[in-house]
Chain A
Amino acid sequence: AQKVTQAQTEISVVEKEDVTLDCVYETRDTTYYLFWYKQPPSGELVFLIRRNSFDEQNEISGRYSWNFQKSTSSFNFTITASQVVDSAVYFCALTGSWGKLQFGAGTQVVVTP
């Protein structure tokens, strides 16, 4: 069975601090995809990144970066120089065949000025 664990329930930081969100997954599939989504207070899930299991390169997009390590089954997400607009719930998700996304429980990020 597939499982995604986001052990951090809530992280509070002051603006401009860096914050790293942990994601650990379990799957028996050899081909799988990992995602991160952001859910701001408005409620809509916003897609951030998709990564397949054969691509272990780290990715940077502006202030966001992702560290995929197959050896530890982790796909961690870092926000550099956090801003108030980064306050949201962030979900890590895993899919195998047929796109049935398995979500983690989410991590609430609170950024205060």
Chain B
Amino acid sequence: DVKVTQSSRYLVKRTGEKVFLECVQDMDHENMFWYRQDPGLGLRLIYFSYDVKMKEKGDIPEGYSVSREKKERFSLILESASTNQTSMYLCASSRGQTGTDTQYFGPGTRLTVL
């Protein structure tokens, strides 16, 4: 079975803090994705990566950065957290070169920024 894990289920941070969200997949997938989910807005893609050290902006990259130093790990970084980044963050991975394969999701991290 595909397994995608995220470092925390719940996280509370203060405005201005640097926040790291970690995602690990154990299926040797090429592609990894970070989404945020907000009520009424659905899921929106923040960043994705189709190879180690490669990254591509999604639809809402502002205020975020990512790092992929190893194939199995994809980190989302909030350089200076703000209250409007309070959200549910979901990581996903998929195999394949074209990126059209099924994305498998982790359990999510619910981040609250005070």
Contact = CB atoms under 8 A, between A and B. Distances in A.
A107 B92 CA distance: 21
The prevalent SS among residues of A at the interface is mixed
Interface string A86-97: 000001000111
A106 B40 CA distance: 9
B101 interface: yes
A104 B100 contact: no
Interface in A35-65: 35, 37, 42-47, 50
B31 A99 contact: yes
Interface stretch (B63-71, B73-81, B103-111): B103-111
Contacts of B100: 33, 95-99
A91 B41 CA distance: 12
Contacts of A96: 100
Interface residues of B, number: 27
Contact of A101 (B56, B103, B108): B103
Contacts of B98: 97-99
Contact of B101 (A45, A97, A99, A104): A99
B26 to A, nearest CB: 16
A9 to B, nearest CB: 9
A89 to B, nearest CB: 10
B108 A44 contact: yes
Interface of B: 31, 33, 40-43, 45, 48, 50, 56, 58, 88, 90, 92, 94, 98-108, 110
Interface of A: 33, 35, 37, 42-47, 50, 91, 95-101, 103-106
